[in-house]
Chains A and B, each alone.
Chain A
Amino acid sequence: MYDERGSRHVFGAGDLLWEAAEGKWHGWPDFHGDTRLDEHDHYKPPRKEKPRLLLAKHPNDPPSPSVVFPVHSSSDGFDFSKSSSFGHMGEAFVAQFGDEAPTTGKVLAPVGFKVVRVDVKKGIMYDFAINRGKVNGPASWLKTGGLERPVAARFSPDGGTLYIVDFGVMLHDKKGAHPQKHTGVLWKITPVK
């Protein structure tokens, strides 16, 4: 949505999950969720000016998002659990591709690289599928097996199985992204009986 590239840098604005409100303006390009981009120093990049608003008039106060995802998590494909056999009915399962540092900004630790579930009624997210270890990160970085870059999450038609599309290894350096051939996989997650 926003980041520290281009002509107007916005710091610390994570992806949002909305319950879309029909006919309402949802805030782009002057709000992050229901918060103005010029509010206090919330979106001010270090050692730079805070972002300026672009619209002379706002159609309405934007509605509040269901949840704000971690900055740079790249929260992508999602689906809702509709089956009691899988559990967590009504919650959204969201694939987080993971940060693309340093191309898109700095992080102190890997962000994303997992699947989260979101209780959209309460506005709380929980880790659901994530690699083990003292810190989180993609399997290639942890030098273990496991999740690399989950990009989509979909339930089977009967709702009892969650499938995760894992893009595979994509390395980043100052020159940009370097996807690695033949590393993508499809994960299948079923409840333990």
Chain B
Amino acid sequence: MKRACLYAILAGAVTLQACGSARRGEPIAGPLEISSQKAANGQLVFMRNCNQCHPWGEAGVGPALNNKPLPAFLIKIQVRKGIGAMPSFPKEHISDSDLEDLILYIKTLRHHGKGGRQ
């Protein structure tokens, strides 16, 4: 029952209404300013683990991340448990510290050049 509730929350979260364009790439939204070492580490974690299915937080094999207001605790659950086609990333693959940095980077990317230069 607990697991069913968790998946229901996650399924609802990933289908949250998209808000605007997810495009955050440099030619569209300008250079991304990384302001802290933690966010810079988060970018590396993203490149190694997330970018292949969510290129720069846009949709690809997986859904877009940049235009959905998914809160940090749901991102953590989704990363740890996986959902649908998305695999799980246990602590030995992404440490708790790296996961915190990853979330910081995702938030930075989400707010970068919102809407983009179309």
User: Could you list which residues of chain A lie within 8 angstroms of chain B, going by C-beta atoms?
Assistant: 11-12, 14, 39-44, 46, 67-73, 105-109, 111, 122-130, 132-136
Contacts and interface: CB of A to CB of B under 8 A. Distances in A.
Contact of B25 (A107, A111, A124, A127): A127
A130 B52 contact: no
A124 B88 contact: no
A111 B27 contact: no
Nearest to A115: B27
Contact of B87 (A42, A127, A129, A133): A42
Contacts of A41: 82, 87-88
A83 B50 CA distance: 32
Given A109-B60, A127-B25, A127-B56, 20 more contacts: A12-B85, A46-B85, A68-B47, A71-B61, A72-B61, A73-B55, A105-B61, A106-B61, A107-B61, A108-B61, A108-B62, A108-B63, A109-B64, A111-B60, A124-B43, A126-B25, A127-B27, A130-B25, A134-B23, A135-B58
Interface of B: 21-23, 25-28, 43-44, 47-48, 51-53, 55-56, 58-64, 82, 84-85, 87-90, 93, 118
Contact of B90 (A40, A106, A125): A40
Contacts, number: 92
Contact of A111 (B61, B64, B85): B61
A123 B60 contact: no
Q: Which of A71, A127, A132 has the most CB of B within 10 A?
A: A127
